[in-house]
Amino acid sequence: MDREFAYTDADFNKVRAELRALAGINLADSKISLVYSRLAPRVRKLGLNSVKNYLSYLETHPDEQEHFINALTTNLTSFFREPHHFELLKEFIQSGEQCERIWCAASSTGEEPYSIAMTLVEAFGRFDVTSKIVASDIDSNVLNKASQGVYPIEKVDPISNKKSFFLKGKAHNQGSAKVVPQLRNLIEFRQVNLLDNQYPVQEGMDVIFCRNVMIYFDKETQVQILEKLLQKLRPGGLYIAGHSENFNHLGHLITPVGRTAYRKV
Ligand SMILES: C[S@@+](CC[C@H](N)C(=O)[O-])C[C@H]1O[C@@H](n2cnc3c(N)ncnc32)[C@H](O)[C@@H]1O
């Protein structure tokens, strides 16, 4: 294959090992071309001529790690993705359960924490709720995007009560919509690597959303991360996982309460 920069199987394996060490993410063999296309813009920007040279640069420039991770994460998400989880959250609140603190632990570009915030407002029937959401991700680019709360109008259109939650862009902002400040104020964005030993998040969370990120980690890492997350969740608190992240075998830690939703034992 004709490529702008030299790239070998050995480079790909080195990228995989580095990403796994830094973020816990495992890349399948099939991702060899994807990795090249994600890293090529960095190689170009730094004026290098091969992925091998880029990897040497990464080794000697710790600041580059952030760009490396940002380039290689997969950030697919959408508003009210897996809608049953938001219905469950609403029921949880309306049943009278305490729901003051929610952590969205792989928040990507923000659609998930804003969906949580919209659910809170709808469940309580007002914007001035006392609940707070911490939204975190390892990727600083997606956190910046999330924090701005600006989305293409097509992403916002399917939301039923969108007029209450978004302001339509005008003039040069036409085609986009911005989250209203009352909704934005319910969320605090923070950079957290789930691989770290300590999470800079307070204990006693009532609900943790950690969806569609565990799939990137091996089984052993998944259990280690789940145990660390559960240290931050109060007993009886809700733990919400992604559609293909099943923890039914960890009955001593969490009990299933719906489709990939659990309560801390
Ligand atoms: C596929 S998105 C899922 C987004 C959202 N939770 C959802 O279900 O729609 C996975 C997110 O996990 C983040 N991620 C990957 N590894 C991570 C790590 N070690 N710590 C924290 N976040 C991580 C990625 O940056 C990405 O934004």
- What integer best gives the mean pLDDT of the chain? 97
* Per-residue pLDDT, 255: 96
Domain total in the chain = 2
For the CA of 81, the closest atom of ligand 1 is 9
Annotation says 38 is catalytic: yes
Q: What CATH number did the domain enclosing 208 receive?
A: 3.40.50.150
The residue from 30, 48, 72 where one domain ends is: 72
Residues 89 and 203 in one domain: yes
pLDDT digits (tens, 9 = 90+) for 144-173: 999 999 999 999 999 999 999 999 999 999
Residues 208 and 136 in one domain: yes
Domain ranges, residue 131? 84-149+180-264
pLDDT band at 34 (very low <50, low <70, confident <90, very high): very high
Q: Percentage of the chain surpassing pLDDT 90?
A: 98
Q: Which residues pair with 31 in a beta bridge?
A: none
Q: Which residues pair with 190 in a beta bridge?
A: 136
Mutate to test the pocket of ligand 1, among 78, 108, 195 (most ligand atoms within 8 A of CB): 108
Q: Note whether residue 156 is domain-resident.
A: no
Mutate to test the pocket of ligand 1, among 138, 210, 222, 239 (most ligand atoms within 8 A of CB): 138
pLDDT digits (tens, 9 = 90+) for 106-119: 999 999 999 999 99
Catalytic residue among 38, 190, 234, 263: 38
Catalytic residue among 11, 42, 137, 184: 137
Residues 142 and 205 in one domain: yes
| 137 Cβ below 6 A of ligand 1 | yes
Mean pLDDT of 170-187: 96
Residues 62 and 98 in one domain: no
| 28 Cβ below 6 A of ligand 1 | no
* Per-residue pLDDT, 187: 98
Q: What CATH number did the domain enclosing 68 receive?
A: 1.10.155.10
For the CA of 209, the closest atom of ligand 1 is 6
The residue from 72, 96, 123 where one domain ends is: 72
Q: Note whether residue 77 is domain-resident.
A: no
Q: Note whether residue 109 is domain-resident.
A: yes
Q: How far is the CA of 72 from the centre of ligand 1 (A)?
A: 11
Q: Note whether residue 51 is domain-resident.
A: yes
| 82 Cβ below 6 A of ligand 1 | no
Residues 21 and 133 in one domain: no
Residues 23 and 97 in one domain: no
How far apart, in whole angstroms, are the C-alpha atoms of residue 114 and residue 104?
Answer: 10
Residues 48 and 94 in one domain: no
pLDDT digits (tens, 9 = 90+) for 76-113: 999 999 999 999 999 999 999 999 999 999 999 999 99
Residues 52 and 142 in one domain: no
Residue 1 has pLDDT above 90, yes or no: no
Q: Note whether residue 193 is domain-resident.
A: yes
Q: Is 63 annotated as a binding residue?
A: no
* Per-residue pLDDT, 2: 87
